[in-house]
Chains A and B, each alone.
Chain A
């Protein structure tokens, strides 16, 4: 695949070497031949002890990993789309988002969820400044940027500047509510239902709802 290298080009047979690089011109990932780190040893030791003592099994560990991997923003999108079409469900979601998610059949374990709703006047955005708390049991794994210090430290101080970097420029008369997940609760944003979506089905509406819109760094997509 043609691409630019700052120090040479591929267009006119200029001699150069790709030693140690893959055909796409990037370094091969090193094999992991180094010794285990302290925490890798700790994880393996505790896991093996739990299995030896009959508290869990290898299969149960694999099953739990599969279950975590199967969760995705599509699950949250279904919850939000239901709230858009069903006012009674919306009220239940705002009152107790864990119960409302379970009502839809999602196995969210012990997740304690709060739903916050975007309107013409209010825009919500979620962060965890202390670590990376995220409603994983509903939405799956958080994006990398959500866990990074840049997002976590900046969005509580200059949320408007951060949201502009995500392409979301909010007018001054919209109040931003930043939710710092400091303790036991996790949060999901109910983005505003986009104009022009009145005739769409619940399943079609769910397609408009991205992971980022449920964190609050994007709007729901407008219908095509």
Chain B
């Protein structure tokens, strides 16, 4: 997985641990936390697959655009790998 990733914009029903305000945003991998049970299955008592969990770092500029209080401040969150797609350097905003 490349260092830069975009969070999916999907809006599935159910128990989802990807905050809405980060969907579609581009950040960089801060660290890989290893594999964890997928909460979207665990929450319903289903046999959960383990899937990589990553800490992704976003700039406030990326998350809030011109409404950012200080564009260079950072927002970091844990996002499961199936919500992330690699972003090539040239595509970066």
Contacts and interface: CB of A to CB of B under 8 A. Distances in A.
A129 B16 CA distance: 12
Contacts of B53: 183-184
Chain B interface residue number, banded: 20 to 34
A157 B64 contact: yes
Nearest to B80: A183
Contacts of B87: none
Interface in B38-82: 39, 53, 55, 63-64, 67, 69-70, 72-80
A175 B69 contact: no
B13 interface: no
Chain A interface residue number, banded: 20 to 34
Interface of A is mostly: loop
Contacts of A160: 69-70, 73
Contacts of A172: 70
A179 interface: yes
Given A175-B72, A175-B74, 13 more contacts: A129-B19, A130-B17, A157-B67, A159-B69, A161-B69, A178-B75, A180-B19, A180-B78, A183-B39, A183-B79, A184-B53, A185-B33, A185-B55
Interface of A: 129-130, 156-161, 172, 175-185
Interface of B: 17-19, 21, 33, 36, 39, 53, 55, 63-64, 67, 69-70, 72-80
